[in-house]
Amino acid sequence: MSSPVARPLRSRDAATLPRGVAIVLSLVAGAGAFMLFLQFGWSDGLDFIDVLRAVLILISTWWLAWGAVQGLMGLTTRAEPPVVSLAGPLTARCVILVPVYNEDPVTTFSRIAAMDESLAATGQAHLFHFAILSDTRNEAIAARERLWFLRLLKDRAAEGRMFYRRRADNKGKKAGNVEDFIQKSGGAYDLALILDADSLMEGATIVEMARRMEAEPDLGLLQTLPVVTRAKTRFGRAMQFSAAFHSPVFARGLAMMQGRTGPFWGHNAMVRVRAFAESCGLPELKGKPPFGGHIMSHDYVEAALLARAGWRVRLDDDLGGSFEEGPENLVDHAKRDRRWCQGNLQHARLLAAPGLKPWSRFVFFQGIMAYISPLFWIGFMLASIAAPYFAPPPDYFPEPYWPFPIFPQAETSKAIGLAIGVFGLLILPKFAVALHAAMSGRARSFGGALRGFASMLAELLFSSLSAPVLLAYQTRSVFQVLLRRDGGWPTNNRGDARLSVGEAWMASHWVVTSGLAGLIGTWLLAPFLVVWMLPVLVPMMLAPFLISWSSRPATGGLFVTPTDLAEAPVMRRQRELLAVWEREMIAMRDVSLSAQAETAHA
């Protein structure tokens, strides 16, 4: 067996410069917006509300600039080649963990069968075991899990390499499920690949991850960038295109800034079992949910604990062959986002945890900011509506004995310039990604430069319309958590995503009411701001129609992604297996119904 290529490990300070550049540029952008707004407010006499609005715009602009700089770094850097074993068989034993919670076992187990076939093609399948870790609470689904697990074993002739276990008590949810397996069975393995029920990975990618883990003994966790696939609705297709077109660039920037203290997104990542067992025991926080109890967004915390113990946590954005599925309508997205909101805000209790790396604390802070940042924009809008009632009365004769009035200097150009700058931080990174894709040839995987650019514009329009609705859901989630309302861990909806206008109304009537109240309040209190508020309030008032329309099947030639033009082998094989298994399921159901009918007739 060949030995790993000799190359020095990356410097611990490799990420210092990118982090410093990102922090400085984003702070400069925020400070510029702050000063520009102060000048605008000074024109008619500076007051408390002007200062408050300037502070709010500083925080909001800094946050937007932080994301934009991350995209810029992704466009201007390349992944460093990893240390790998060039040849020879693997020696590490790896278990592939598939936690399930009230999922359709036919679909989930067909993914496992396809991945096992893909691993067999590498010649290394004997080193990889699968463990299905069920937390299913529904007895009917649990019975189907047991039945289809036997079908999986028969299909793959994998007895001794595939295991199924259902916990009686699902304490700790997914994190507790994985931790329980590591404690009881982890000693049999060197590595563990953690998946979600909708995860799918190429066998060659899994083997490559194991090679990289073998070659770098201090690498505790290796995260891939999962590609969203198989979206069918307008909402899903737009999100899938955005993830495929923009996310690789932003992930590259993230990888540059994270360095040794990289991210863990809870799935499609490989961990070193010993490192995970020694470092990642999660505490149960004192008090009741949402701030107490088990840690919901466990992945960020586990990454921080690995880094605290001296293990490297890395995102290798050059790894392909890693797939997942996403929500197919805006309501399902909001439900998932509610859980993430609660988990991220819970991290406020961990900011001062002993021994954490400074960057890990900053990652927690970023996660919190991702959810409270809408509050700053809402605060800015409310303060702007109230501003005229706090402004001092105009003084047209500030100079004594001067007979002619002096009118305040018009600062409209500064306000317009500030609005253009803020809007630019939102759209310029996407235009830059589109230009880079056209120049580098990457756009060919999205149907060509012209179609890719058109898809980017369509996605930008759709995201601009849906952003106020998502902002409303996110704001409600934050207030629910602050009011100590536990959102729980709802089951993912992987069925028909279509919503009627009536169903959408039931899920968003409060958004419509909030938008209408905002329009009436603005008209009564600050009518000069109505035009500026319409891009936010109109989509809110039309939320049911937007939600219903975007939940319909997508048509047309936009939002083409690489997996549409060239389906990955493991995706194709899983689709074929699923079709066979579903036919068998229908046949089994028909036989069962026939037997029941005969029994009843007798």
List pLDDT tens digits, range 382-407.
988 888 777 665 554 455 655 544 44
Percent of residues, the chain, with pLDDT higher than 70: 88
List pLDDT tens digits, range 476-502.
999 999 999 998 777 777 667 899 999
* Bridge partner residues of 323 (DSSP): 200, 227
List pLDDT tens digits, range 591-600.
555 555 555 5
Total of domains in the chain: 1
Instruction: Round to whole Å and give the CA distance between 176 and 136.
Output: 14
Alpha carbon distances (Å) from 420 to 71, 425, 426, 437, 453: 19, 9, 10, 25, 21
> Are the C-beta atoms of 244 and 446 separated by less than 8 Å?
yes
> Are the C-beta atoms of 197 and 165 separated by less than 8 Å?
no
Q: What tokens does 418 get?
A: 């500030």
Assess if residue 383 is contained within a domain.
Answer: no
Answer with the residue of higher pLDDT: 413 or 531. 531
List pLDDT tens digits, range 175-199.
999 999 999 999 999 999 999 999 9
Answer with the residue of higher pLDDT: 419 or 137. 137
Assess if residue 196 is contained within a domain.
Answer: no
Q: What tokens does 383 get?
A: 């303060």
Assess if residue 590 is contained within a domain.
Answer: yes
Taking residues 368-390, report their average pLDDT. 89
Angle between helices 16-42 and 412-440 (to 10 degrees): 150
Confidence tier at 536 by pLDDT (50, 70, 90): very high
Taking residues 158-167, report their average pLDDT. 92
Assess if residue 597 is contained within a domain.
Answer: yes
Instruction: Round to whole Å and give the CA distance between 522 and 528.
Output: 8
pLDDT at residue 577, as a whole number: 96
In angstroms and rounded to an integer, the radius of gyration of the C-alpha atoms of the chain is 27
Assess if residue 267 is contained within a domain.
Answer: no
> DSSP secondary structure string, 328-382?
SSHHHHHHHHHHHHHHHHHGGGGTT-TT--HHHHHHHHHHHHHHHHHHHHHHHHH
List pLDDT tens digits, range 231-269.
999 999 999 999 999 999 999 999 888 888 999 999 999
- Name the phi and psi angles at 160, rounded to 5: 95, -15
Q: Among 497, 552, 574, 498, which Cα is nearest to 197's?
A: 574
pLDDT at residue 36, as a whole number: 83
Answer with the residue of higher pLDDT: 493 or 13. 493
pLDDT at residue 391, as a whole number: 66
Q: Is the pLDDT of residue 10 over 90?
A: no
Instruction: Round to whole Å and give the CA distance between 203 and 187.
Output: 23
pLDDT at residue 3, as a whole number: 35
Q: Among 246, 186, 234, 274, which Cα is nearest to 446's?
A: 246
Assessment of whether the complete model's pTM goes beyond 0.85: yes
Assess if residue 348 is contained within a domain.
Answer: no
Instruction: Round to whole Å and give the CA distance between 20 and 12.
Output: 15
> Are the C-beta atoms of 508 and 343 separated by less than 8 Å?
no
Assess if residue 71 is contained within a domain.
Answer: no
Q: What tokens does 222 get?
A: 């290796």
Containing structural domain, residue 588: 571-601
Taking residues 462-476, report their average pLDDT. 95
List pLDDT tens digits, range 545-572.
999 999 999 988 899 999 999 999 999 9
Residue 366 CB contacts under 8 Å (≥ 6 apart), including other chains = 66
Please report which residue ranges of 399-500 form alpha helices under DSSP H. 412-440, 449-482
pLDDT at residue 365, as a whole number: 96
Assess if residue 586 is contained within a domain.
Answer: yes
Answer with the residue of higher pLDDT: 551 or 2. 551
> Are the C-beta atoms of 167 and 133 separated by less than 8 Å?
yes
